[in-house]
Structure 1
Amino acid sequence: MLGTLQCLVLDCHYPAALARFYAVLLGGEVDRPDSRWRLDEDWSTLHTPAGLVLAFQRAEDFHPPQWPDPGHPQQFHLDVQVDDLPAAEREVTAHGAAFLRREDGWVIYADPAGHPFCLLPN
């Protein structure tokens, strides 16, 4: 092993808003003080209950992916397993997610910055 994953970083226009969106989806604490990262208008974090840290970085020239268009690739996506799929869909939509499509029992949304993520039934 060469290293340890510290966090997964998503580029976006509004870091704090996207951190709050993912806190609704995954739980956790937004912008918990952590000596590894600064917290300001250009950088926000989410410490999830599972131990994963997501970070959100302002990118002035951010162009959201337009899944499944390969001309604007998704670059990565998150798969999130949920106990109550309909309730999860209502909640993420209420917090700014955009429905993209259903595929093989999974439901694909875009977060408020345009990053695709999948909701999977438990």
Structure 2
Amino acid sequence: MAVAKLGTVVLDCPDPVALAGFYAQVLGGRTEDDGEGWVDLKTDDGTALAFQSAPGHVPPQWPRAEAPQQFHLDLTVEDLEAAEREVLSLGATLLEAGDPSRTWRVYADPAGHPFCLCAC
């Protein structure tokens, strides 16, 4: 049984508005800017991407390890507490629990890549 379903793929970048605009032109759809360094792209076919401001962003130099690919996954869950227990038992590490009233938490997978569990 799956623990979560993929919610949104988030790309770190120096200018979320500009990068979201690029992908909107490539994929179609509309962008929604939260005004705080986060832009969502929702395409007509249901594909969703998000773009997050990352000061000091170093672009990846694929396939060079010196500047690897940079992204994190938002995984949508129904029960945040149960999903957290499950991912921790599978080898994830809690990176940021944050404010208990938030509907998301940050983890690292066993290889160190960040991802979020987000309550729906």
Q: Specify the TM-score bucket, using the shorter chain as the normaliser.
A: 0.5 to 0.7
Counterpart of 2:31 in structure 1 is 30
Task: State the TM-score, normalized to the length of structure 1.
Answer: 0.52
Q: Is residue 72 of structure 1 aligned with residue 70 of structure 2?
A: no
Deviation at 1:49, TM superposition (A): 2.0
Counterpart of 1:43 in structure 2 is 38
Change (3 A) 1:11 1:27: same
Deviation at 1:3, TM superposition (A): 1.5
Q: Is residue 62 of structure 1 aligned with residue 57 of structure 2?
A: yes
Counterpart of 1:95 in structure 2 is none
Aligned pairs, number: 70
Distance 1:52 1:62 in 2: 25
Task: State the TM-score, normalized to the length of structure 2.
Answer: 0.53
Q: Given that residues 12 and 70 in structure 2 are in contact (C-alpha distance below 8 angstroms), is that contact kept between their aligned partners in structure 1? A: no
Q: Which has the larger radius of gyration?
A: 2
Deviation at 1:75, TM superposition (A): 4.3
Letter in 1 for 2:28: G
Give the gaps of 5 or more residues in structure 1.
32-37, 77-122
Provide runs of 4+ in structure 1 moved above 2 Å: none
**Aligned-residue CA RMSD (Å):** 1.7
Please give the secondary structure, in 1, of the residue aligned with 2:5: coil
Counterpart of 1:17 in structure 2 is 18
Percentage of identical aligned residues:
49
Please give the secondary structure, in 2, of the residue aligned with 1:22: helix
Change (3 A) 1:75 1:16: closer
Deviation at 1:41, TM superposition (A): 4.1
Give the gaps of 5 or more residues in structure 2.
72-120
Distance 1:6 1:43 in 2: 15
Deviation at 1:53, TM superposition (A): 1.0
Distance 1:53 1:16 in 2: 15
